[in-house]
Structure 1
Amino acid sequence: MINLAESIFLEDEIWKGFVNRFYCVALKRETKGKIRYGQQHYDYDKGVLSFTAPNQVQQLDLQNMECGSGYLLIFHPDFLLQHTLANSIHHYGFFDYAVNEALHLSAEEEDDLITILHKIDKECQHIDKHTQEIILTQIESLLKYANRFYERQFLTRKNNNSALLTRFEQLIDDYFNSDIQGLLTVQYIAAQMNLSPNYLSDLLRVHTGQNTQQHIHEKLIAKAKEKLSTTSLSVSEIAYALGFEHAQSFSTLFKKKTNLSPLEFRQAFN
């Protein structure tokens, strides 16, 4: 646990590019400067809670860095071994969120998280055989709170998110109406919207109950039904037109979603 108010970053070439081997949870207040994480930047000019996963290249802009105040919780993946968190931590998508998707906290939310961080810090000062289990329980609580707060952020930004949802639907429609080759992917849509794939899926799940892949499949099946019912194209031709390399893959997905094969659907429609 690092108290940022008591920390100083010394100039060193290492900050220009290094691989972090740890999970990091940073609650930063009044911090100025930018940190490059993967292919994105975190901008800490406003107080935010951010999460970074192990084995990502990071870069600090020390010339414009002011630590401000806050806390940095760092733990190695091995610390989670033999605990349920070793598996469940992969379900928290915010470790893969990009720069403009960090969590902005209300004062009450910040207090809740600081209380947990203080408990973790206290345990680190008085280590015994119970310490690891207690710290892991606190980390798990922190992640669950963060999950709740992200859902709140999605909902309180409803107007902005409404515009995002409209753009999302338009991008899918445009893709299927274009001559672009290949299957539409979550990564493509997220990149077009300047969002990380996990953030987009979580946003959609909160507002619609479906993740990005489910939306894509829904649109794809609707387009397939349209072609099966209004054209004389073969199943293979429709599959290739929708981006599938193999017609069998298309038929398998179609039957999974409709309980009918493409030919059965066409015959039933006729």
Structure 2
Amino acid sequence: MKPRETLEEFYILHGKEHDQDAHCNVYRREDFECSKNLKPVYRRDFYKVSMMCEGTGILSYADKFIKIDKPSIVFLNPLIPYSWEPTSSVQTGYFCLFTEEFVSSELKNESLSQSVLFKAGGDHVFFPDEASIQLLKNVYESMLNEAQSNYDNKYSLLRNYIQIIMHEAMKIQPPQTYAQHSNASERISMLFLELLDHQFPVSLDNVMLLKNANEFATQLNIHTNHLNKALKETTGKTTSEWIAGRVMKEAKSLLQFSNWSVNEIAYCLGFEHSSNFIISFKKKTGDSPNQFRKRILSKS
């Protein structure tokens, strides 16, 4: 799984020019090679709200996949690792892409804060009825026109259109048509280990984002117990054991090969207080971080 995909890389993949000053863009699927397979990516730095009008395909994330064979609306945020496999040559519809900079307090207001657009867990695919399909088509057409206009406040208007799409989706009952992959435990374990591996190496500008079992499970869109069960079944270790082991490995490496302070190492590894890191490290190794560093360096 690729660790990260930027908006610019997404445009390059689809052979399009990228306007770096535009924090929101709208397209027709048929004009953007949306039939192209999208491989799993750990983290994208943009949101995507896509409407399929014609065409079929399979959307996969974590241990679930859903066959899309009728008009649908799909919400994807930067925390959802997903892949798309088209199963038809015809792929029509619309989608909009926007960055975190585009997300305003209005777009994430109280009533919409629980929307699937902003949550890593939950359902992200909805199948609208005929009335909603027509409404959504009209909204996307208006967005297309507005995105190409010179109106000074067009981005505020585009936010309003996205809110309409979000509210419309919130009216729709989530689908109950998800299926389990035949090798679900192995797939979950593979995705988890890749997510864990891509947390590293850390730096002062790239700190550990996912720090506990609940955060990893949320990222994978599954329950913590489900993740633990899959890992225990396939690896013999729990989620917490894997995380703690990898953190300790990174901590030892940084103490040996960097000149970072203990506070800096603790910060990058996701510890709220350096004292917590020191206690955890000593419990695992028998040495404090400074004792470990002195002992290792004295041997080199």
Q: TM-score scaled to structure 1, two decimals?
A: 0.48
TM-score by structure 2 length? 0.44
- When Rg is computed on C-alpha atoms for both structures, the one with the higher figure is 1
Specify which structure has the bigger relative contact order, considering alpha-carbon pairs within 8 angstroms and separated by 6 or more residues.
2
